[in-house]
Structure 1
Amino acid sequence: MKKSIFLILVLLYFSCSEKSKEVLSVTVKNTLNIDRAFETVEVDITDIALKGQSLEVVNSKTNEILLSQIVDKVILFQPEILANSEATFKINLVEKKEVDSSLIRCYSRFVPERTDDYAWENNRVAFRTFGPVAQKMIEDGVKGGTLTSGMDAWLKRVEYPIINNWYAKDAIEKGAYHKDTGEGLDNFHVGVSRGVGGIAVKTDSTYAVSKNFTSWKTITNGPIRTSFILDYENWHADGKTIKERKHISLDYGQNLTKHSVELKGTNKVSIGLTLHKNDGEVTTNKTEGWMSYWEPFDDSELGQGVVLTNPKSLVGFDNYVTDRKDESNLYVQSTVSGAIEYYAGFGWKKSGQFANKQEWNNYLSRFSKCLGNPLVVNVNTPSK
């Protein structure tokens, strides 16, 4: 399997620690007839005492050190596993190393200098959504506010982080990130739409939605994953009070953000993709649990997509078109019992990642297949 340039550089950067002790042996098995990469393996390390030490993941056959990240009591890494095969990895206890900030490609933060955005990115895509100050500005008639719980897309076409650079440029020249100087740009309009994967609850004739997030909490940033939590003020649909909390994460190498949404007050939820000018092509796949919207986009083309973790929860699709500004969305409707998990993201043709609608739809189909057949992980304590 062809390795990414980034991974090769990482492997060259690290060398095996002279003082290491194997504490776990992990076998990862791929049961599909396709090669697998950029899927995150999570291994519980609760029973490992880290006394000023750290852990590293080593391929048992090649002795290559894999990029890894510790989040609470779990270590994350992304193995490359050939079709219908397995590989074994050692998790070694090693001396603690300084974190190399240049390896942090999965990044998110609250952005108070731009009202109160929350933005996140990895090496392929970037997103943002909007907080209570931006909402109050709209409600008070102050220019520059934003009232939406939709998810905005930042169309990047470089692998390195751009969030901080783009906001810094915007502070000097208002709207600077709306111009593409080689890294990409923000030309994705959200308005009150669902953007890329915002939720709604269907009423008799329309869709009810929440307003901006009210609070946030960053959980982690690193080479493998960024994750955070957004809370929302209670909202109403069909006379019922909806309580909403989102746990959002984005892993390295993926175009889709994972949304784990806690919902109370409804047994059905709709996840949306904005239709913008309604001049794109809709594709839906009920069996695999995904939907796609591929559209002309300025001087390029753009694909949006949603993949449900559990396709069996899918009720149907709704290509909802209305004359009300920004309220036209493609929806996938799902049952929900306290929580729902799904993935939402995009592929921009100008980034060089996807050339056409078929490539984008193939990506969503493959992503769904891998969700339904996760890598099989077996963890053992090595014999002494």
Structure 2
Amino acid sequence: MKFFKIICSTVTACLLFSFGSKEKVITVKVKNVLNKERSFETVTLTKDFLKTNEIKNLGVRDRKTGKLLVTQLVDTDGDGVMDELLFQPVVAAKTTQEFEVVPVTEQERPKSIDYCYSRFVPERTDDYTWENNKVAFRVYGPVAQKMIEDNVKGGTLSSGVDAWLKRVETPVINKWYKKVVDKTGSYHEDTGEGLDNFHVGASRGVGGIAVKNKDQYYYSKNYTQYRTITTGPIRTSFYLNYEDWDANGKKIVESKIISLDYGSRMTKFETSLEGSKSIAAGLTLHEKKGKVAGNKKNGWVSYYEPIGDSEIGTAIVAEKKYFCSFETYDTPKADLSNAYANLKVKNNKVVYYAGHGWKKEGQIKNAAEWQNYLNEFSENINHPLEVSLGK
């Protein structure tokens, strides 16, 4: 009987503690300094910023509506411990909105499709491919390079970036590759979801880099190593490394982290580079039937051209601290004509964005709309959302 009373007392005490305690809440303020609503921009909360050692059980709640937002946890260094908490707020023009970082269970987390996806593709030599709900891309690995060097059919020697043209929001990478493996179709044919009809070859494609030395452009070869960092509803990111390469006597050491966020047409390239104080990020000119345009003040260069039965705009955009100028390099040599953004390398790092808008997808209808998108994107990256902890 005495034992029973002790158990009851202990249970009662635990219940009182449970119902009487308050959940730990961290208030985060997000400020929009621009005179327009902001959305589809990712806020990154690190453990250091939140002043906590553990974030795996945390979520984000809109303080005004009380609703939990879609979030994504990211292990940036691959040690099995989550380092970042991502969310995408909607912030009205010239306002500061408050959000709460709160403990959540997995059942409480809002469910969402992993629109932002990337992976290594061994079934197609060794592509690395990535996508979100708007666009898709791929780059080529060492097996594809060796096939070219050994005169084996089907290889690719290029550090250019290929564009896959989607016109659905749902993921397509696995479906398109499966069609090839199963021999039930080809991703070079549009059956309603889009296709890959964007030729890269030795060009820069959409965002491949070069180093200019004595009026000539020099490139790396295919990537040599990869590491997937994250996939999810808000962001996919991955690491690529390249074999050291020569730019007419300059030894170039290159690696990069590439990321693509939900709702954006622009992939972010965070390139670590030694051996040069500047790089040129390029856009292939294909058959030179399009038009190069640029805006030095806003930090972008664009190429708008016909493609298949439609049109496409490609672009490089960078913050003002990196963007120097843009130029067109025109040569009769196949695949080597590119529009270039000339970018500063600061402390062995340069950051830029590259992407595309396909008319057939339905949201970018002409060159003017593409340039408007680039001006808006430039304004956003040069005036990022300001994030602070509330008191």
User: TM-score surpassing 0.5?
Assistant: yes
Tell me, in whole angstroms, the C-alpha distance in 2 between the residues paired with 1:50 and 1:105. Answer: 26
Q: Partner residue of 1:327?
A: 336
Q: Partner residue of 2:122?
A: 112
Which segments of 5 or more consecutive residues in structure 2 lack a partner in the other structure? 1-18, 75-81
Tell me, in whole angstroms, the C-alpha distance in 2 between the residues paired with 1:217 and 1:290. Answer: 29
Q: Partner residue of 1:55?
A: 58
Equivalent residue in structure 1 for 2:142, among 132, 138, 147: 132
Tell me, in whole angstroms, the C-alpha distance in 2 between the residues paired with 1:315 and 1:242. Answer: 20
Tell me, in whole angstroms, the C-alpha distance in 2 between the residues paired with 1:256 and 1:293. Answer: 14
Structure-to-structure mapping, 1:195-234, within 5 angstroms: 195-234=205-244
CA drift of 1:157 comes to 0.6
1:154 aligns with 2:156: no
Is the partner of 2:343 in helix, strand or coil? strand
1:348 aligns with 2:358: yes
Is the partner of 1:108 in helix, strand or coil? strand
Contact 1:20 1:92 in 2 (8 A): no
1:332-384 superposed Cα distances (whole Å, 9 cap, x missing partner): 11221301000000000100121111111111111111111111111136xxx
Deviates more, 1:150-159 or 1:102-111: 102-111
1:68 aligns with 2:71: yes
Tell me, in whole angstroms, the C-alpha distance in 2 between the residues paired with 1:102 and 1:211. Answer: 37
Contact 2:322 2:350 in 1 (8 A): no
Tell me, in whole angstroms, the C-alpha distance in 1 between the residues paired with 2:111 and 2:41. Answer: 22
CA drift of 1:282 comes to 1.3
1:276 aligns with 2:279: no
Structure-to-structure mapping, 1:1-384, within 5 angstroms: 21-46=23-48, 47-50=51-54, 54-71=57-74, 72-97=82-107, 103-173=113-183, 176-309=186-319, 311-337=320-346, 338-380=348-390
Is the partner of 1:361 in helix, strand or coil? helix
Which segments of 5 or more consecutive residues in structure 1 lack a partner in the other structure? 1-17
Tell me, in whole angstroms, the C-alpha distance in 1 between the residues paired with 2:371 and 2:90. Answer: 23
CA drift of 1:131 comes to 0.1
CA drift of 1:188 comes to 0.4
Q: Partner residue of 1:5?
A: none
Contact 1:20 1:94 in 2 (8 A): no
Call closer, same or farther: CA 1:263–1:327 in 2, change over 3 Å: same
1:53-107 superposed Cα distances (whole Å, 9 cap, x missing partner): 6222111011122111111322110001111112111111122349898621100
Tell me, in whole angstroms, the C-alpha distance in 2 between the residues paired with 1:124 and 1:151. Answer: 16
Call closer, same or farther: CA 1:136–1:98 in 2, change over 3 Å: farther
Tell me, in whole angstroms, the C-alpha distance in 2 between the residues paired with 1:148 and 1:345. Answer: 18
Q: TM-score, normalised by structure 2?
A: 0.89
Letter paired with 2:342: Q
Is the partner of 2:64 in helix, strand or coil? coil
Deviates more, 1:53-62 or 1:216-225: 53-62
Contact 2:120 2:128 in 1 (8 A): yes
CA drift of 1:124 comes to 0.4
How many residue pairs end up in the alignment? 362
Q: Partner residue of 2:12?
A: none
Tell me, in whole angstroms, the C-alpha distance in 2 between the residues paired with 1:102 and 1:190. Answer: 33
Deviates more, 1:21-30 or 1:97-106: 97-106
Letter paired with 2:302: S
Contact 2:68 2:110 in 1 (8 A): no
Contact 2:147 2:153 in 1 (8 A): yes
CA drift of 1:271 comes to 0.5
Identity of aligned residues (%): 53
Tell me, in whole angstroms, the C-alpha distance in 1 between the residues paired with 2:47 and 2:325. Answer: 40
Call closer, same or farther: CA 1:98–1:120 in 2, change over 3 Å: farther
Tell me, in whole angstroms, the C-alpha distance in 1 between the residues paired with 2:385 and 2:24. Answer: 22
Contact 1:40 1:78 in 2 (8 A): yes
Q: Please tell me whether Structure 1 or Structure 2 has the larger radius of gyration of its CA atoms.
A: 2
1:114-168 superposed Cα distances (whole Å, 9 cap, x missing partner): 0000000000000000000000000000000000000000001101100000000
Letter paired with 1:66: L
CA drift of 1:276 comes to 0.7
Contact 2:322 2:351 in 1 (8 A): no
Is the partner of 2:57 in helix, strand or coil? strand
Is the partner of 1:57 in helix, strand or coil? strand
Tell me, in whole angstroms, the C-alpha distance in 2 between the residues paired with 1:103 and 1:364. Answer: 27
CA drift of 1:175 comes to 6.7
